[in-house]
Amino acid sequence: MSSSPGRKVVITVRSFDADALDWLRGQDCAVEITDLPPGKTDGDLDQGELCRLLAGAVGWIVGHARVTGALLDALPELRVISRRGVGYERVDIEAARALGRVVAIAAGGNDASVADHAVGLMIAVGRRFRELQDNMAKGDWTILTGGDLCGKTVGLIGLGRIGRSVVRRLSGFDARILVHTPHPDEAYARATGVTYTSLADLLAASDYVSLHAPLTPATRFLIDATAIAAMKPGAILINTARGGLVEDAHLLAALRSGHLGGAGLDVFASESDRAYWSVSQGLLAHPRVVATPHAGASTREGLARTNRIAAELVVAVLNGGDPAPGRCVADGRRTTNQR
């Protein structure tokens, strides 16, 4: 589906709302929206399909597709890649810089949505919602005893925009909040009452451990068998960040052994590594797991915000300007101009 003539911008994400679409078209952009098959994302498109869709495009609003150096090299007219989301581990940032492209993220658009989701998973797992409903559907209305979130110790690994949004929400639960981050902000701690601590101390003391860190080589499988063994017996793990932060096979083993009290998962290692597919299936089958399909950011309101931000980022670059502060992760225009 395309619009009137103009600067070609391709959108390969679902749920791109009419308001953001109309705004983008009003900025002299010829918009083409990819018709994805049911149950598929742009991450399922191979390089040949992406090259065909993006031929002649100067802007691309992308979801989960892998943006490789080879793909960028094959698309010389593409000037800006705008990620509708905040993660960019699937983008070859160095290649984008070397080829003079701009890569931007829709930071700030989905903070509230993901933070709500994280706290919702804490409550759902702690109060055993899944087990209770599954039992009721079988005719067993026995009351299972869960646990309060109120008054508990919650450990947050990472304290970016979403982590801080979670802190605000937890203030209403009288929770003690521990934080492990490479960049502690003492003024923020004084204002909010959070306590910075080591990863080891956080794991040992927390009733809930919630992940809000980016996926990097340093954080891949940050939560593995060793980290899980250090967690408080009966603790609950929440991951709404990136699947690769947790070694899911080790998590499944800890749930089956009873060491952990449950897990709330919006992301899985199998999203980027199909070798973990059977592990994901085991997690989904476990009664103490509440799972969603990477849906934490996907509210009507959150998508509307990120759609508009992603569109504005594209137009800013096409107009010769800069993405808004905090939203540019690579600007090859600077690199190539300096050579």
Q: Which residues are catalytic?
A: 242, 271, 294
CB neighbour class for 62 (10 Å; exposed up to 12, middle 13-18, buried from 19): buried
Bridging pattern class, strands 102-105 and 328-331: antiparallel
Which two three-digit tokens encode residue 132? Answer: 């209770």
CA 106-309-243 angle, 5° bins: 25
Alpha carbon distance 242, 297 (integer Å): 12
Alpha carbon distance 155, 261 (integer Å): 15
CA 299-302-307 angle, 5° bins: 120
Alpha carbon distance 56, 7 (integer Å): 9
Alpha carbon distance 162, 110 (integer Å): 8
The DSSP secondary-structure symbol of 246 reads B
CB neighbour class for 213 (10 Å; exposed up to 12, middle 13-18, buried from 19): buried
Q: Which value, in Å, is the radius of gyration of the alpha carbons in the chain?
A: 21
End-to-end CA distance of the chain: 39
111-126 vs 300-318: helix crossing angle, rounded to 10:
150
The DSSP secondary-structure symbol of 17 reads -
Give the closest residue to 162 by CA, choosing from 114, 196, 119.
Answer: 114
